[in-house]
Amino acid sequence: MAFMKRTGGRNKLAAVMVIAAGLMVTGGGYAVATTVAKTTQSAEYSQAQVDEGKKLFLANCASCHGKNAEGTAAAPSLIGVGAASVDFQVGTGRMPGQLSGPQMFKKDVQFTNEQIDALAAYVASLAPGPAVPTDEAVATNGNTTRGGELFRINCAMCHNAVGAGGALTEGKFAPSLKGVDPKHIYEAMATGPQNMPVFNDANLTPQDKKDIISYLKFVENNPSAGGYELANLGPVVEGLFAWVFALGGIIAITIWLGAKSN
Amino acid sequence: MSNQGKSAAKGGAEHTYEGGLAVIPADAIKDPGLEPHRVRMTDKSPKHERAAVRQVASLFVLSFLGSAFSIYAYFAFPITDDLGSVRSNTLFLGLGITLGLMGIGIGAVHWAKTLMPDAEVSEERHQARSSEADRARALEIIKLADEESGFSRRKLIRRSLYTALAAFPIPAIFFFADLGKDQTNNLRHTMWKAGTRLVKDPTGTPIKASDVTVGSVFHVVPDGLVELEEHMLEEKAKAAVLLVRLDPADLKEDPAKASWSYDGIVAYSKICTHVGCPVALYEQHTHHLLCPCHQSTFDVTEHCKVVFGPASRPLPQLPIAVDSEGYLVAQSDFNEPVGPSFWER
């Protein structure tokens, strides 16, 4: 129904669209489902959700973000950050923040999915912003090769070539992307949480984002061909392993070779 | 010299040294002689000897099993479409081959150490000087060679050969000239020219100023680079650019360079001025750009000045503008060489 309401409300060809929709339903519900899913945005929120979200916001968020989400010295304005930002920050447990510091940590999620949706509905009602992606937009059936190239150009400098994460300045870090919900990866790219830059749809198109997510899930779900990953942290860990175990083994063998038998 | 050696030896030792060129100090450490022979358990007890024989044989059998296992592993763990199969294939083949070789090596050493004779012996060094007969024969050969080649007799050949040998190393002196001024200017210029569009890496899509929202980071190359048939990577290594948009109020621009940015959009070389790593770890709120190699940190709000780390110069800024269609273009090439220091910089 959301599909018809949105299209019909704005478009002079509403009647034609309704007939077309009717034909498509008779032709098969599947076709309609695919057409709707092609958009990257989820359905609109109801007024009840917005009202519920406002109550939750005043009780849990307003002390830092201000009563009208206008921001305070302690926290930024949330006007225009969009539903995707709320869904990411609250859905991964980063918000509400437990203490102020260089970086907000991921922790146990504090709200139910319904409450998160309500909060997202409220923040989205303040001003337009990135919406929560549909399931189709974050499906992992994209082009992993292309996703890998885009990931290495745009993301790997902070998040490591296979998404194992890495250090930034002054205690901040780019978190590991292993085990992160594809929806949250998409939302992080669209909204640029904390110190991460924004990758809007002009920079990384929805297809680009889908390919990147597909690549990340591919490397996460496939074993490394090169043997043990050692947490994928790169040359420091690998070098340390070689120095301690390989060189240690060589020294042990050398001592044994030179020792006399009992 | 040999006198010195002899007198030193007289000072405190029972040996006489043929000192040669060596200087032997009066307080030289005495030759302690052979250490007392220690009898091994395998020499004393037949039980231990039999155990050692069994150990050595077991090691050789283990080696055999390892080799056999690697043949088995070749067929049992083939490489398929699954990436994990590569891992088990190399792991088990490697384990088998390792056992095969290590078993032989460790077995052989264990055999030598426990069962072969271990009596210590000392052997005298032989004279370094060849026998008179050998020396006379060598001289004879040299004389014969000289006679047969005519080296001493044919002055023209000898002198021209000396001239050739003397001239051969001289060109190397001229090659040092290449260490001077760079004739090609390759290190001073990149692909960027006035009007070159900024395009996305790797797709080559041009970028509208309106696409770059505040907090965005675009990884940028010059238009035409992606299509280059030759030297694409060399050009990219010099021309790669990071495009960032800040709130214009956050920028603290030098008035002379204020026209290099466009409404808060700034473009900087991605090549670190320390040793040339790609600097691209941009923090949206601190506006710091971090180099992952040696932690040089640049402040994007102030023309990428160095705020931490070993880099000695700010990242070069690419002056940008917007063309009639709204796309971002370069005003010119960088106004200084990109990347790390070189001999004339």
Mutation target vs B (from A203, A221, A224; most B CBs, 10 A cutoff): A203
Residue A227 domain-assigned? Answer: no
Residue A261 domain-assigned? Answer: no
Q: Nearest chain A Cα to B37, which residue?
A: A260
Q: Considering the entire predicted model, what is its pTM?
A: 0.74
Indicate if A24 and A63 belong to the same structural domain: no
Across A246-258, average pLDDT: 95
B41, B216, B288 ranked by CB distance to A198: nearest = B216
Asked if B296 reaches chain A (Cβ–Cβ under 8 Å), the answer is: no
Asked if A250 reaches chain B (Cβ–Cβ under 8 Å), the answer is: no
Q: Token match 């150009």: residue?
A: A153
Asked if A101 reaches chain B (Cβ–Cβ under 8 Å), the answer is: no
Q: Which residues contact B332 (CB under 8 A, 6 or more apart)?
A: B192, B193, B194, B319
Q: Compute CA distances B30 → A31, B13, B15, B122, B137, whole Å.
A: 99, 7, 10, 16, 40
- From chain A, the residues in CB contact with B270 under 8 A are none
* Ranges in chain B, pLDDT < 70: 1-20, 182
Count of A-B CB contacts under 8 Å: 92
Residue A226 domain-assigned? Answer: no
Range 163-192 of A in CB contact (< 8 A) with B: 166, 168-170, 172, 174, 192
Domain stops at, among A126, A156, A176: A126
- From chain A, the residues in CB contact with B284 under 8 A are 192, 194-198
Indicate if A205 and A177 belong to the same structural domain: yes
Residue A97 domain-assigned? Answer: yes
Length of chain A: 262
Q: Token match 């009992």: residue?
A: A262
**B212 CA: distance to closest CA in chain A (Å):** 8
How far is C-alpha A233 from the chain's CA centre? 21
CB contact under 8 A, A202 and B286: no
**A38 CA: distance to closest CA in chain B (Å):** 22
Task: Given CATH 3.10.129.10, say whether it is the number of domain B198-330.
Answer: no
Indicate if A52 and A116 belong to the same structural domain: yes
Q: Nearest chain A Cα to B287, which residue?
A: A195
Residue B10 is predicted with a pLDDT of 42
**B112 CA: distance to closest CA in chain A (Å):** 9
State which amino acid sits at residue B265.
Answer: I
Task: Check pLDDT > 70 for residue A257.
Answer: yes
Q: Which residues contact B217 (CB under 8 A, 6 or more apart)?
A: A154, A197, A198, A199, A203, B242, B243, B244, B280, B282
User: And the tokens for A193?
Assistant: 């949480």
Domain stops at, among A126, A146, A172: A126
For chain A, the domain total comes to: 3
Residue A23 domain-assigned? Answer: yes
Range 27-86 of B in CB contact (< 8 A) with A: 38, 40-42, 82-84, 86
State which amino acid sits at residue B308.
Answer: F
A150, A168, A225 ranked by CB distance to B86: nearest = A225
Residue B18 is predicted with a pLDDT of 60
- From chain B, the residues in CB contact with A260 under 8 A are 38, 40, 113, 118
* Phi/psi at A108 (5° precision): -60, 140
**B280 CA: distance to closest CA in chain A (Å):** 6
CB contact under 8 A, B217 and A202: no
Residue A162 domain-assigned? Answer: yes
Domain residues for the domain of A193 are 137-221
Domain stops at, among A97, A126, A155: A126
Instruction: Work out the pLDDT band at A4, boundaries 50, 70, 90.
Output: very low
Indicate if A163 and A211 belong to the same structural domain: yes
Asked if A157 reaches chain B (Cβ–Cβ under 8 Å), the answer is: yes
Mutation target vs A (from B86, B277, B281; most A CBs, 10 A cutoff): B281
CB contact under 8 A, A225 and B87: yes
B218, B283, B284 ranked by CB distance to A203: nearest = B218
Residue A240 domain-assigned? Answer: no
Residues B228-261: b if buried by 16+ CB within 10 A, e if exposed: eeeeeeebbbbbbbbbbbbeeeebebeeeeeebb
**A259 CA: distance to closest CA in chain B (Å):** 9
pLDDT tens profile A169-193: 888 999 999 999 999 999 999 999 9
ipTM over 0.95: no
SS3 of chain A: the string is CHHHHHHHHHCCCHHHHHHHHHHHHHHCHHHHHHHHHHCCECCCCCHHHHHHHHHHHHHHCHHHHCCCCCCCCCCCCCCCCHHHHHHHHHHCCCCCCCCCCCCCCCCCCCCCHHHHHHHHHHHHHHCCCCCCECCHHHCCCCCHHHHHHHHHHHCHHHHCCCCCCEECCCCCEECCCCCCCHHHHHHHHHHCCCCCCECCCCCCCHHHHHHHHHHHHHHHHCCCCCCCCHHHCCHHHHHHHHHHHHHHHHHHHHHHHHCCCC
Residue A101 domain-assigned? Answer: yes
CB contact under 8 A, A198 and B218: no
